[in-house]
Amino acid sequence: MNNREKSQRFPAWASLYLVLTILVLAFGFYQAMTAPKEATMGNLYRVFFYHFPHTILSFVFPYLNFVAAFLYLFWRNNHPRRALAADAFALASAEVAVLYASVGLATGMLWARAAWGIWWAWDARLTTYLLLWLLYVSYLLLRGLTSGNQRAVLSAVLAIFAAIDVPICYMSIRWWRTQHPAPVFGGGADSGIDPHMLPAVLWNLAAWTLWGAFVLGLRYAIERRRQRNSLAEHTDVSLPASPTPVLEVR
| Binding positions for other proteins, rule: CB under 8 A | 73, 127, 131, 134-135, 137-138, 141-142, 145-147, 149-150, 153-154, 157-158, 160-162, 164-165, 168-169, 172, 175
- 137 DSSP 8-state letter: H
Task: Give the nearer residue to other proteins in terms of CB position, either 16 or 134.
Answer: 134
Q: How far is the CB of 118 from other proteins (least distance, A)?
A: 21
Confirm if 91 and 226 have CB atoms less than 8 A apart: no
Task: Give the nearer residue to other proteins in terms of CB position, either 114 or 142.
Answer: 142
Task: Give the nearer residue to other proteins in terms of CB position, either 57 or 162.
Answer: 162
CA distance 231 to 241: 18
Q: How far is the CB of 168 from other proteins (least distance, A)?
A: 5
Q: How far is the CB of 153 from other proteins (least distance, A)?
A: 4
Task: Give the nearer residue to other proteins in terms of CB position, either 149 or 191.
Answer: 149
Q: For 35-147, where are the alpha helices, taking DSSP H only?
A: 48-58, 61-75, 80-115, 124-145
Q: How far is the CB of 201 from other proteins (least distance, A)?
A: 30
Which are the contacts of 158, defined by CB distance < 8 A and separation ≥ 6? 138, 139, 142
Q: What are phi and psi of 190, to 5 degrees?
A: -100, 20
* CA Rg value for the chain: 23
Task: Give the nearer residue to other proteins in terms of CB position, either 171 or 222.
Answer: 171
Q: How far is the CB of 177 from other proteins (least distance, A)?
A: 11
Which are the contacts of 246, defined by CB distance < 8 A and separation ≥ 6? none
